[in-house]
């Protein structure tokens, strides 16, 4: 692997690409993977562009990781109550990391 490719991968190791049911792919920044009531969730946001200033408020959303009968992972949006609870867990994780 060339140094140029390695550098790109290292800079973008927190970026993931998700493909929806219509085949449309979207790039997201992976902030954290966390557990809530025995389920695993991804905390994601829109990636900031190179040279772009980070926003004052980051819009974070969550996807639940599920597995189909073939062992393939897929992602679903939790209902609002669960998303709020997972957000609280995410805030705790951030506070613990900052300390």
Domain residue limits, the chain: 14-48+59-98
Mean pLDDT of 85-90: 96
Question: pTM to 2 decimals?
Answer: 0.76
3-state class of 96 per DSSP? Answer: helix
| Residue ranges with strand state E in the chain | 15-19, 25-36, 39-45, 61-67, 73-76
- Within the chain, residue ranges assigned H as helices are 3-11, 80-98
* Tens-place pLDDT, residues 2-59: 344 333 344 557 899 988 889 999 999 999 999 999 999 999 999 877 766 666 778 9
CA 26 → CA 20, 29, 97, distances in Å?
8, 10, 28
Cα(47)–Cα(94) distance, integer angstroms: 18
pLDDT given for residue 8 in this prediction: 37
Contacts of residue 67, defined as CB under 8 A and 6 or more positions apart, other chains included, come to: 73, 74
């Amino acid at each position: 692997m060339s140094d140029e490719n390695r550098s790109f991968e290292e800079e973008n190791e927190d970026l993931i690409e998700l493909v929806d049911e219509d085949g449309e792919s979207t790039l997201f920044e992976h902030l954290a993977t966390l557990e809530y009531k025995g389920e695993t969730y991804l905390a994601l946001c829109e990636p900031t562009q190179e040279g772009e200033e980070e926003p004052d408020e980051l819009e974070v959303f969550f996807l639940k990781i599920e597995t189909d009968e073939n062992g393939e992972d897929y992602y679903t949006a939790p209902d609002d109550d669960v998303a709020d609870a997972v957000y609280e867990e995410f805030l705790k994780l951030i506070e613990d990391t900052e300390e």
